[in-house]
A and B are shown apart, each in its own frame.
Chain A
Amino acid sequence: MSDTKTNKAEEQQSNQSPGLQFERRDIIKGLAAVPAMLLFLWNYFKKQALDKMRSGEIMEELSLKKKAPAVLKTKKPGDLIRLGVIGYGWRGAQDLKAAGFGNPEWAAKAKDAANKNKLDKRFETYLQQEDLNLALTGVCDVFDTRREQGIASSTASIRPNGVAQQTAPAKGYLDYQDLLASEDIDAVIITTPDHWHSKIAIDAERAGKHVYVEKCMTRTMEEAHDMYAAFKGSKMKLQLGHHSRAVASHEKAREIIENDILGPITLVEVTTNRNSPGGAWVYPIQWNSIEDVYRKYESKDRYATPKTLDWDRWQGPAPNKVPFNLERYFRWRCWYDYGTGLSGDLLSHDFDAVNQIMDLGIPKTASSSGGIYRYTKANFPDMIEHERDVPDNFQTVFEYPERNLTVMYSATLTNSNHRGKVFMGHDATMKVGSGLTVTPDNSSTRYKQKIADGIINTSLPMFSYSPGSKDIDGVTSATAKYFAQKGLMYTYKEGKRADPTHLHVADWLDCIRNGGEPRCNIEEGFEEAVACHMATQSYLEGRRVEWDPVKRKIV
C-alpha cells in the first residue's frame, strides 16, 4: 500500500528542494480545485444569462418591460377641510383613524400591543400616515357612548406624522340634520348602517357637504336611483368607501389585463371565507367597537340602554320597526332591515375590485342561492336569541354575455380556507390579493412556443408582483388575516406600508380641493349598488334576475 499512500513523504521531499520555493507538484496540487471553480463560474454565469434571457423574453411577451411600476400618487394637502362623521361605530372609528383621528382608546391599546409584539405594525402604520390637513368639528351618533368616543378622537393626543393635537373638541350631535346644518362642516363621512346611507348622503349633498359614504351605497334599488339623481352632476364630491380601490395590486392587475396577458377571460371567481362568530357579524352584545378585538365595554356605564341609545332614531327608515333590541343594534348586519347581507357587505368589495380591474359595469343577470346553515338559535342558544334573515352561506353568478364572461362569487362564513380572486383567461390565470401572480395555462395559444422551448414553465408563475415583500407583519386574528389576504388591511405606496382607507380618504379630499372625480364616484357606486341588489333580490325571490339597461331597473 505504501506506493499509493502518504503524501507526507512527497511533502517532505518538496520541502527539501533547495533554490525553488514551489515545485511543479506544489502548483498542480495547490491549484487542484481551480478547475472546479472555473466550472462553477462558467455554469453560474450561464445560469444567470439563461434566467435573464427567460425573464427578458417573458417580460417582453408581457409588454411590461419598460413600464413603470404601479405607484399611487399623492398630492400635498391644501386648505383645511372641516370634517363631520355620522355614525361612530366600528367602521366610523376606522375611517376617522384613516383621516388622522385615531381614537385614544384604540391608540393606547395599539401602542401597547406594538410594544409587546414588534411584528404588530398597526400603530406604526398609523403614525406614518400623511397629514391630510383636517379638523374634526362634528360627531353624530344616536348612542351616547359612541358619540363621546367620537368626540374624544377629535382631541386625541397621539396623531400621525407629528400633527398637532386639535385643541377644540368636535361638537356632538344626536340628529344628523343638525350636523348638516352646521356652517363649520365642509364634508361628512357617513358610517351608519346601510339603511341610513342614502337618506343622509342626499341630505348632505343638499346641505352643500361633500360625502364619503361606506358601502353598500344603498339598502335598496330605489335608494340607488335617488343617490344617482342627487350626485350625478353635483358639485359635491362623492366617494363610496371601497378602499380597495387604493390597493396597489389592483392597479397592476388592470395593467396586466389591458396588456391582454391572460388572453380572453371567460371566468372570474371571487370569494369570501370567514369562520368565526365575529366574521359572521354575531358580535358580542355591548361590544366596544373602537377596539380591534370583539370585547364588551369594560364599564357597564357605557352600555347601550333605552336611555343611552335613541332606538327610534336609529331605526329611522328601516322597513320593519321593532321594540328596543340590542341584538339588532349590535349585529345589524344580520338583518335585511338595516343591511344588505353578504351581497352588499362583502360581495361588494369583490365586485368593485373586479369592476376596477376590468371595467365590468352592471351584469346582465344574477343568480343567487344560499342559506343560514350555522348561525342559528338552535346551534348557538347561548349566543343568539333572535334568528337572522341574512344568510351565512351565499353564492352568486353574474353573467356578462356581451363580454363572454361569468363572474362567480362564493361566500361562506363557516370556513376560513382562503380562495382569493382568480381571473381565468385562455392563456393564463391571475390570482389577486395584496400582491398578484400570473401563471401560464398549459393549453395557452399565445405562450405555446415559449412553453415548448422551455422558456415558460407552466408549473410556476411567470410574473409575480408583491409590493413590500420584505416587510414583515404579524397578522394574528382570523378576521384580520382575511382582510390582509384580500389586500384590504394595508397596501404599499412608494415602498411604504399604508392603510388603503387612508389613501381612499386622501383621494376624496384631493378631489374636493383640486377637482376631478374620486376613484369610486357615483357611477361606480351605482354599478356596485345595482349588482349587489340584483344578487340579493335573486336570493330573496329564488329566481334569476335581469338588469334592463333601458328602463334602468331589475326585472
Chain B
Amino acid sequence: MNDRLNPLAPDYSHYQLVSLSLLRVLVGWHLLYEGMAKLSNSNWTSAAYLLDSKWIFSGIAKWIVTNPGLLSFVDTLNMWGLTLIGLSLMFGLMSRWASIAGACLLVVYYLFHPPLVGLEYSKPPEGSYLLVDKNLVEACALFVLAMFPTSHITGLDRFVSKD
C-alpha cells in the first residue's frame, strides 16, 4: 500500500509533527476545560444558548428546550462529550475519532449560532465575527487533525496500534 494514501503513516517532518501534536494538545486542553467547567457548575444548562438560536436550527433548539428530558440529555452529552473529546485529544487516545466528533460538535454549535449578516444575538459574542467564528475555526482545526493524525506517534495510540 502506498503510505501517502494511508493517513496513519504520514511522512511528517519533525516540525510538522511537533506543530500538529501541539495543535492537538491545545484544542484538547480547551475542550477538556470547557467540559470540566460545565461539569463542575451544577446550574449550567445549554438552554439559554439554545433559546437564543437563530437560522435553520432555531426550531430544533426550541424543541430541545421545551422537552426537559431531552434538554437534560443534550446538556449531559455536551458536558461529557467535551470532556471526553478533550481527554482523548490530550492523551492521544483514539484521537482521530475524537477529532471527527469534536469537529461535528463545533459545527453544530456554529449552526445554532451562525454569525451571518443580519442575525443578532442577545448575548454579545466575545469577539467580532463575519460568517466565520472561533467555533468554525476550531472545527476546521479538528478536521485537519483528523486528516493528519499524530496520536499514533505522539500519543497513547502508539501503544494501542503497535502489534
Contact = CB atoms under 8 A, between A and B. Distances in A.
A292 interface: no
A470 B50 CA distance: 13
A472 B21 CA distance: 41
Contact of A29 (B3, B45, B91, B154): B154
Given A5-B11, A21-B162, A40 B91 contact: no
B50 to A, nearest CB: 9
B92 interface: yes
B40 interface: yes
Contact of B153 (A7, A34, A118): A7
A37 B33 CA distance: 11
A119 interface: yes
B11 A30 contact: no
A459 interface: no
Contacts of A34: 91
B66 A118 contact: yes
Interface in A13-70: 15, 21-22, 26, 29-34, 36-37, 40, 44, 48
A322 interface: no
Given A4-B13, A7-B17, A8-B3, A33 B25 contact: yes
B47 A22 contact: no
Interface string A85-123: 000000000000000000000000000000001110000
A22 B162 contact: yes
Interface in B1-58: 3, 9, 11-15, 17, 21, 24-25, 28-29, 32-33, 36, 40, 43, 45, 47-48, 51
Nearest to A36: B25
B81 interface: no
Contacts of A5: 11-14
Contacts of A472: 47-48, 51, 65
Given A29-B153, A118-B67, A119-B65, A470 B12 contact: no
Contacts of A26: 158-159, 162
B62 A40 contact: no
Given A22-B159, A33-B155, A470-B45, A4 B15 contact: yes
Interface in B149-163: 153-159, 162-163
A336 B157 CA distance: 81
B159 A40 contact: no
Interface in B113-163: 153-159, 162-163
Contacts of B106: none
A32 B154 contact: yes
Nearest to A39: B29
B149 to A, nearest CB: 12
Contacts of B156: 30-31
A300 to B, nearest CB: 38
Given A22-B162, A472-B65, A7 B12 contact: yes
B9 to A, nearest CB: 6
Interface in A452-504: 469-470, 472
Interface string B98-118: 000000000000000000000
A32 B155 contact: yes
Interface string A256-290: 00000000000000000000000000000000000
A6 interface: yes
Given A15-B162, A21-B162, A40-B33, A33 B15 contact: no
Contact of B47 (A21, A31, A48, A470): A470
B90 interface: yes
Interface string A231-248: 000000000000000000
Contacts of A117: 66
A8 B17 CA distance: 12
B155 A8 contact: no
B65 A44 contact: no
A284 B48 CA distance: 35
B155 A30 contact: yes
A37 B156 CA distance: 13
Given A33-B92, A33-B155, A37-B90, A8 B13 contact: no
A1 interface: yes
Nearest to B24: A33
B90 A33 contact: yes
A119 B33 CA distance: 31
A11 interface: yes
A11 B158 CA distance: 10
A37 B47 contact: no
A37 B36 CA distance: 14
A435 to B, nearest CB: 12
Most chain-B Cβ atoms within 10 A of its Cβ — which of A6, A15, A26, A36? A36
Contacts of B158: 26, 29-30
A258 to B, nearest CB: 26
Contacts of B67: 118
A432 to B, nearest CB: 20
Nearest to B89: A33
Contacts of A15: 162-163
Nearest to A466: B43
Interface in B50-98: 51, 62, 65-67, 90-92
Given A29-B158, A30-B92, A44-B36, A36 B9 contact: no
A234 B3 CA distance: 96
A47 B137 CA distance: 27
Contacts of B163: 15
Contacts of B32: 40
Question: What 3 A-B pairs are tightest by C-beta distance, nearest first?
Answer: A118-B66, A30-B158, A32-B154
Given A6-B12, A44-B36, A472-B47, 6 more contacts: A4-B14, A7-B153, A8-B3, A33-B28, A36-B29, A118-B67
10 contacts: A4-B13, A5-B14, A7-B12, A7-B17, A15-B162, A15-B163, A21-B162, A30-B92, A33-B92, A472-B65
